[in-house]
Every structure is written in structure tokens, then in C-alpha cells.
Structure 1
Amino acid sequence: MRVLPGAKRRRSEDVPPPGAPQWMTTYGDLITQILIFFVLLFALSNVDAKKFDLAITSVQGSLGILESGKSLIRGEFVEEGIAGENLFTGEQQERELRKLGDQILEIIEASGYKGVTVSIDERGLAVRFMEGALFDSGKADLKSEAIRLLDKIAPVLKQSQRPIRVEGHTDNVPIHTKEFPSNWELSTARAVNVLRYLVEKHEIPPQIISAAGYGEYHPIVPNDTAQNRSRNRRVEIIILSSSSIAQEPK
């Protein structure tokens, strides 16, 4: 090798290897791992346990781990800004509920029953029976036409295989009878009688159905006219949405 005049030849051991020193690689890896560790701690400290369980169940459902390969988790995450969960079940559940609602609506319209409506709300698919469609005023015994109506829609409720809640509601006019000391007893008795008929006659699994009596405290309209009070006296059969299922007592 030709050396310029006046230049000293450097020994090979004095020339540093190209790139960063080796200790910098180890140090960089260590800092990265520490950063990841603290990011994980922060993320885990903000995990909502309920939503974590919902996410896991949703993934299980999408993989067919649950019965029939369906998840019971609804698009709750989408409403709160996590759109991925909707990929698994949100749209599927809405289609399922609407299909069941259409079937029940066709039965009601073909049978000519009055005072029965079908709608979807935050609870799920709601089949609403005004008082006269199922019971006489102040009574909790199912009318004969009510039994015929329940016989027609029960197969649809059963095929859904989804949890069901039967809700009883009254207006705000007090009732004081030997059988029903208050509206609590009346609303609960009505819900329970519908439940028992569906379980005992149509063999809807008792594990998936429940009854609740709300008395006068969940009106759909103000109790300020006779017409409004008649609307508030009702029984509702709810095919529960997944967000409602998550709130049910285990």
C-alpha cells in the first residue's frame, strides 16, 4: 500500500469496526424492552375486565367454539369506538333479530291479533302485548285468545335459542286486592304466568328464560291520560341482545 509522505501507517487494531459499538446494540434492546414493559403495564391498568371477557367470547364464537358456532356478543364495542368486534357478531346479531321479528310479525298479522307490536331496541327484540291482548283488567290469568297467540309465536322464540326475559308492567293506578296488594305483585304474576306457559307447554329451556315485574316504574309514555295508562299496562317478551345478556345475573 502506498503511503503519502509524512503520514503514519495506522495499525489495523487502531481502526474501529464500522457501525455503532457493540454495547450500543445491547443497550438499545434493553431500553426497548423496558419501554414495552411500561406500555403493557399502562394498557393492562386500563383494561375493562367485562369488555375483555366480551372480546374473548366474541373471538370464541367466531371460531365456532360456542354452540352452533355463534357468538353471544353484540356490537357494543363499536358504539365505544372499537370497530373490530362488529366484524364478528354485530351485523350477524342484528340480522338474526330482524329475521325473528319478521317471523313473529307475520304470525301476528296473519292471525289478526290487535294490541301486539314488534320492535328492536337496546334490550333486543321486543314483542309487546298490551294488557287486553293477554289479560283481563286487574287479572293475571292468561285469556284463551292469549294462549292461542303464545302457541303461535312460541316455536319462533324457541328456535332462536337466545336468552329471553318476560317483563310485566302496569300503570300508576294503585291496586289493592287480596291477590295483588300492589302493582308489583300484579306485574310479576303476569310475567311469571307467561313464562310458565312457555316453559311448561312449549318446553322452552328454563335456563334461558326469566321473568321480571317492574310495576309502574318503567312507563313508555306518561301516565297522564287514560289512553297512555292503557299503553303502559303491558307484558313484553324480550329476545335479549348480547349487551343485555352481559348484564343479566349469572
Structure 2
Amino acid sequence: MRRKQREESSNAGRWLTTYSDMVTLLLAFFVLLFAFSNVDEGKFSSIISAFQNYLGVLTEGQSILERPSPLPFDYSDMGHRQLYELFEQMSDYIEQEGLQGVELEIQERGLIIRFAEQVFFDLGQATLKPEALEILDNLADQLRELPNPLRVEGHTDDWPIRTSTFPSNWELSVHRATNVVRHLIEEDGFDPEKLSVAGYSEYRPIRPNDTAQNRALNRRVDIVILNIDM
């Protein structure tokens, strides 16, 4: 009876060894694929890291039962896969154009193209700069035919504004987002039914409003390519 119990105990963990071998072979396969192509070093590292997290490839000192956090979304989902591919496309575009003050972020709700205030507007103003118009026109060529709806969101920092045009940051944030949408419709031929506007004033910061640098980051316009499956 004791011998049978020992045999069952030793067999119980064998699937872990098989699983570990399978994951190692998968990782080796993808490494070989990339070895035969021209790969950007940064992207290669990102992809390897993603596979380590998603497939459960272990780093030193980890137990196979302590699986790392998965990718930030279900990559098998068609909507998320499309957003990730668009993320790669937009990253290449931003790098090629040498755009400053533009960031990308993938969230569950969609892909965010984040523009710092100085890219589009002067401080406390809502009129698009001439260079901003060119950026929007080039961006429109990348986004116009997407099936996804787009939402343009205006954000400010917590410094109050009181002018005849903008009695508060609410008006400033909405006015900025509206001017971006109007340009996309009137000059770049976007379908108005696919666009929406939101102004959040100072109430959705991405950094604490405790330094001048953080306040500058919070003053922004986000163009959100919404996940079509949500």
C-alpha cells in the first residue's frame, strides 16, 4: 500500500516537467524565427518578454506554480489583436516622423494616442497650432478607414483658468477636444458618426499635479481608438 502511494506521489508532478519542456521548445522556436529576420533590438526584447509572461516561461527562482502576470489583454481576441497591430504601426510612424510629445498606450477600452499640450496648443489656448494641423492630417491617413469609433478627450492640470472664453478648465478641455474633432471632420473627411468628444478638465490626471513637469504631462489631448468589441 505504501509503495502504491509513493508511486502516485512521484507521478503527480510529471506533467509539470512536460509542460516546462513544451514551453522551452516553443520559446526556442520563436527565437529561431526571429534569428532569420531583421529585427529591431528593442522590439525583439519586448516580444521575448511578452512570451515569457504569457506562456509562463520561468525566470530564476520562480516556481512554475507562480505564473507571472499575463499580457494586459486577451491577445486571442480579434479586437485586441487589431489594436496591438495598430499600436505597432503607429509606433513605427511616430519614430519615422520623429514626433515629440506623442505617446501610445493600450488599455482595455482601446488604443490611446496621447498628445502633450505643446504639440497642439499654446498654454491656456484652444486654437490648433499650424504644425498641429499637419500632424492631424498625417494621422488621419492612418486612421480614417478604421472601423473603430474614435473619441477625442481633452485634459488640463489643476491650475484654475478664468477668462471670458474659458471660465474654467471644463470649457478649455472641451473646446480643445472639439477643435480637434472639427478639423478631422471638416479638413480630413472623417465620418462624424464615428467621432465623439469628451472634456475631463483636471479630473483624470495621469500624474499627480505636484510639480511643473507633472502638470505639463496632465495637459494633453487623447485620441482614443475604441475597442470595436466593447
Query: Is 1:228 matched with 2:214?
Result: yes
1:101 aligns with 2:94: no
Structure 2 residue 100 is the aligned partner of structure 1 residue 114: yes
Identity over the aligned pairs, expressed in percent? 50
Matched residue type, 1:212: A
Task: Please give the alpha-carbon distance, in whole angstroms, between the structure 2 residues aligned to 1:117 and 1:129.
Answer: 7
Partners of 1:165 and 1:238 within 8 A in 2: yes
**What displacement does 1:143 show?**
0.7
Asked whether 1:180 is paired with 2:188, we answer no
The answer to whether the aligner puts 1:162 opposite 2:138 as a matched pair is no
- Taking the aligned partners of 2:152 and 2:141, their CA distance within structure 1 comes to 16
CA contact (8 A) 1:171 1:233 kept: yes
Tell me how far apart the structure 1 counterparts of residues 99 and 220 of structure 2 sit (CA, whole Å).
15
Shift in Å, 1:155: 1.7
Counterpart AA for 2:226? L
**Hey, what's the Cα distance between the residues in 2 that align with 1:160 and 1:182?**
34
User: Is contact 1:107-1:152 (8 Å) kept?
Assistant: no
Q: How many residues in Structure 1 have an aligned counterpart in Structure 2?
A: 158
Query: What one-letter code is carried by the residue in structure 2 that aligns with 1:184?
Result: W
Aligned-partner Cα distance in 1 for 2:95–2:134 = 14
Q: State the distance in 2 between where 1:235 and 1:130 align.
A: 7
**Which residue of 1 is the match for residue 25 of structure 2?**
none
CA shift digits 1:138-157 (9 cap, x unpaired): 01111111111111111221
Q: Indicate conservation of the 8 Å contact 1:171/1:219, yes or no.
A: yes
Offset, 1:242: 3.9
Residue 191 of structure 1: aligned partner: 177
**Partner SS state of residue 106, structure 1:** helix
Structure 2: how far apart are the matches of 1:143 and 1:180? 18
Q: TM-score, length-normalised on structure 2?
A: 0.65
Question: 1:117: Cα distance to partner?
Answer: 0.5
Distance in 2 separating the partners of 1:179 and 1:154: 29
Contact 1:100 1:160 in 2 (8 A): no
Match of 2:111 among 109, 125, 137: 125
2:201 counterpart residue number: 215
Give the Å deviation of 1:179: 1.0
Offset of 1:105 from its aligned partner? 2.0
Q: Structure 2: which amino acid aligns with 1:95?
A: R
Equivalent runs, 1:2-81 vs 2, <5 Å: none
Q: Distance in 1 between the 2:146 and 2:88 partners? A: 13
Letter in 2 for 1:163: P
Aligned equivalent of 1:138: 124
Which residue in the other structure is 2:51 paired with? none
Q: 1:166-219: CA deviations, max 9, x gaps?
A: 000000000011111100000000000000111111111100100000000000
Checking the alignment, whether the CA contact within 8 Å between 1:199 and 1:205 is kept in structure 2 is yes
Q: Which runs of 5+ in 2 are unaligned?
A: 1-72
Q: Determine the C-alpha separation between the residues in 2 that align with 1:168 and 1:195.
A: 11
Residue type of the partner of 1:143? K
For residues 83 and 145 of structure 2, what CA distance do their matches in structure 1 show? 12
1:90 Cα deviation after fit: 5.3
CA offsets 1:100-146 (integer angstroms, 9 cap, x no match): 22222222211111000011012200000000011111011111111
For the pair 1:240 / 2:211, whether they are aligned, the reply is: no
Helix, strand or coil for the counterpart of 2:144? helix
